[in-house]
């Protein structure tokens, strides 16, 4: 019989393996620029807008040589399907079928104190996990401009986590890792905001079935 | 297989939800609001001294959104505590039984309500203060903005203290429930903390080697002045005497002496160890009250 510490540890490792199956790395041909989450088996990938576009003198530009490293190791060129700069979201397409997809969770049911895990490639370290609790969620958090929805997180996000999945204890997607505020506070865009973005931008293709 | 990870997560969120009624928003400064702890059901609320930038026009907002005017009962800058009172019956967060002390390694939640809903961060108890740090618990919980004045809650939902980042920039500590209880008692009775008084001017000096070995410390406090009609004069302390201990505790520097001159010693006769003419002696001093 294992003790509760071992059981917690084992189940977290189980969630990591389950979610790593749907976690991609996004590169610009030179190196890792962030993470992404497989939303649909036909190659629809969700990430942050700031991962795939940048601003320069001419305005908004797409990262050159955008490609995606799939969980199975394949590297495929990616194209941008849609961008929502206000919510820092982007939808990418790669030419692939039958990809494993992330299970959707209910981000509106998140409670403060709930345990969540964030996956990504911090500083380019592949398929990493960090875990902690939900501080709070909503559109009126102290540090943030009111009106925009966020999940505040007590865990260690780092550059490279951006665009990766935030999951609950079932391994279901509740957010997209997006921002850091101090060493131990991060922010994720709630998954219901992602759902709305995909529905508006892509229509039926964005619906998870 | 039992879903321990899910149970763990649910238990933490439940703990937050149960404590929620005992956590209030405190509006007593211009910028971000802070947090307060419902201490007893008769309307006593504990918060951090440093988040109250004014003495009047203080409001608290309950979990159900009700706003109440609060009266400032008193402050203790030394422990960064302030006590407020509101009219009405409130639901306090339960306190741990005395035989269940918090331990290093325990998981704890820091809770706050700077906005409408309660918020939480998770951490581990790092150290339980003793000596000069008596009454202080150190943890690695993240103090989210507006968390000062909020409770540290353990896995059983007991309040273990009040979190504050008001002592040092970037460092947060928790004032223990025991310390809060003693400060709340004094503030409810007197409206302020008593501070002990000797009536001396002193400065730290290095002790001679043989004295140092005898008393087990390298420095003491040499009296530069003794005020007329003061407790020190009444005890026949003179300029040039070196105070090395008060009530058995070392006085190696002024901070240590000031910490020992707390309200609990006011009016009490305590032994003071001094070095006079190269000899270690003991005199009794009745601690006065600082006006």
Q: State residue A205's pLDDT score.
A: 53
Q: Is residue A15 part of a domain?
A: no
CA distance, residue B123 to nearest chain A CA (Å): 9
CATH code of the domain covering residue A190: 2.40.10.10
Choose the closest CB to B12 out of A4, A113, A170.
A113
Number of domains in chain A: 2
Q: Which among A178, A156, A107, A106 has a CA at the least distance from the CA of A136?
A: A107
CA distance, residue A114 to nearest chain B CA (Å): 5
Q: Are A91 and A66 in the same domain?
A: yes
User: Which of A50, A121, A161, A172 is labelled catalytic?
Assistant: A50
The end-to-end CA distance of chain B, in Å, is 66
Q: Which among B149, B167, B166 has a CA at the least distance from the CA of B112?
A: B149
Q: Are A112 and A55 in the same domain?
A: no
Contact B259, B247 (CB under 8 A): no
Question: Which residue segments constitute the domains of chain B, with CATH numbers given?
Answer: 4-190 (2.40.10.120), 196-289 (2.30.42.10)
State the Rg of chain B over Cα. Answer: 22
> At which of A57, A78, A101 does a domain end?
A101
Q: Please list, in sequence order, all residues whose beta carbon lies within 8 angstroms of the beta carbon of residue B149, skipping any fewer than 6 positions away.
A: B26, B34, B35, B36, B37, B46, B47, B48, B51, B162, B163, B164
Q: Is residue A5 part of a domain?
A: no
> At which of A80, A101, A122 does a domain end?
A101
> SS in 3 state form for B64-122?
CCCEEEEEEEEEECCCCEEEEECCCCCCCCCECCCCCCCCCCCEEEEEECCCCCCEEEE
Q: State residue B132's pLDDT score.
A: 66
CA distances in angstroms from A204 to A15, A79, A196, A198, listed in the order given: 29, 19, 11, 9
Q: Please list, in sequence order, all residues whose beta carbon lies within 8 angstroms of the beta carbon of residue A40, skipping any fewer than 6 positions away.
A: A99, A101, A205, A206, A208
How far apart are alpha carbons B20 and B26 in whole angstroms? Answer: 14
Q: State residue A162's pLDDT score.
A: 96
DSSP A155-176: S---TT-TT-EEE-TTS-EEEE
Q: State residue B8's pLDDT score.
A: 96
Look at residue A76 and give its three-state secondary structure. Answer: strand
What is the extent of the structural domain holding A56?
A: 20-101
Q: State residue A54's pLDDT score.
A: 82
**Blockwise average pLDDT, block size 10, chain B, 291 residues:** 87 97 96 95 96 95 96 94 95 94 94 95 91 84 94 97 85 92 94 91 95 95 96 96 96 91 90 96 95 82
**Blockwise average pLDDT, block size 10, chain A, 209 residues:** 86 94 93 94 96 81 85 95 94 96 96 97 92 94 84 94 97 96 92 95 62
Q: Is residue A135 part of a domain?
A: yes
> B96 touching A, CB under 8 A?
no
ipTM reported for the complex, 2 dp: 0.84
Contact B114 A4 (CB under 8 A): no
> B226 touching A, CB under 8 A?
no
Q: State residue A209's pLDDT score.
A: 42
pTM above 0.80, yes or no: yes
Contact B12 A8 (CB under 8 A): no
How far apart are alpha carbons B196 and B263 in whole angstroms? Answer: 6
Q: Please list, in sequence order, all residues whose beta carbon lies within 8 angstroms of the beta carbon of residue A81, skipping any fewer than 6 positions away.
A: A44, A91, A92, A93, A201, A202
């Amino acid at each position: 019989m294992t003790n509760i510490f071992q059981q917690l540890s084992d189940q977290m490792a189980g969630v990591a393996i389950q979610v790593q199956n749907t976690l991609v790395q996004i590169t610009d041909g030179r190196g890792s620029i962030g993470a992404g989450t497989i939303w649909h088996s036909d190659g629809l990938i969700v990430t942050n807008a700031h991962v795939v576009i940048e601003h320069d003198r001419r305005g908004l530009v797409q990262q050159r040589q955008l490609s995606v490293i799939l969980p199975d190791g394949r590297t495929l060129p990616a194209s941008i399907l849609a961008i929502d700069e206000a919510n820092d979201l982007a939808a990418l397409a790669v030419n692939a079928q039958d990809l494993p997809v992330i299970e959707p969770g209910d981000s509106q049911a998140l409670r403060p104190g709930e345990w969540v895990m964030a996956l990504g490639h911090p500083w380019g370290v592949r398929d990493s996990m960090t875990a902690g609790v939900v501080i709070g969620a909503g559109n009126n958090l102290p540090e943030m401009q009111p009106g925009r929805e966020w999940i505040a997180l007590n865990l260690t996000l780092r550059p490279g986590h951006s665009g990766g999945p935030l999951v609950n204890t079932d391994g279901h997607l509740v957010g997209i890792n997006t921002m850091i505020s101090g060493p131990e506070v991060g922010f994720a865009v709630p998954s219901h905001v992602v759902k709305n973005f995909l529905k508006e931008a892509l229509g039926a293709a964005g619906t998870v079935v | 297989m039992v879903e321990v990870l899910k149970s763990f997560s649910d238990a933490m969120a439940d703990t937050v939800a149960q404590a929620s009624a005992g956590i209030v928003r405190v509006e007593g400064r211009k910028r971000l609001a802070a947090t307060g702890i419902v201490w007893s059901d008769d309307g006593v609320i504990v918060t951090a001294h440093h988040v109250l930038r004014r003495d009047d026009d203080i409001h608290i907002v309950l979990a159900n959104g009700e706003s109440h005017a609060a009266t400032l009962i008193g402050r203790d800058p030394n422990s960064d505590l302030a006590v407020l009172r509101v009219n009405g019956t409130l639901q306090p967060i339960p306190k741990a039984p005395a035989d269940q002390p918090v331990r290093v390694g325990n998981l704890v939640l820091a809770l706050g309500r700077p906005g409408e809903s309660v918020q939480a961060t998770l951490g581990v108890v790092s150290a339980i203060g003793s000596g000069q740090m008596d009454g202080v618990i150190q943890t690695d919980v993240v103090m989210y903005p507006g968390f000062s004045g909020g409770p540290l809650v353990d896995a059983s939902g007991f309040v273990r203290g009040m979190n504050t980042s008001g002592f040092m920039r970037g460092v947060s500590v928790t004032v223990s429930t025991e310390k809060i209880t003693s400060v709340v008692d004094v503030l409810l009775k007197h409206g302020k903390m008593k501070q002990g008084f000797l009536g001396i001017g002193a400065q730290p000096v290095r002790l001679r080697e043989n004295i140092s070995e005898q008393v087990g410390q390298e420095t003491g406090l040499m009296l530069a002045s003794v005020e007329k009609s003061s407790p020190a004069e009444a005890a026949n302390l003179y300029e040039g005497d070196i105070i090395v201990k008060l009530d058995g505790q070392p006085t190696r520097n002024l901070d240590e002496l000031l910490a020992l001159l707390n309200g609990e010693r006011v009016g009490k006769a305590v032994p003071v160890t001094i070095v006079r003419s190269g000899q270690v002696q003991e005199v009794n001093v009745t601690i006065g009250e600082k006006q």
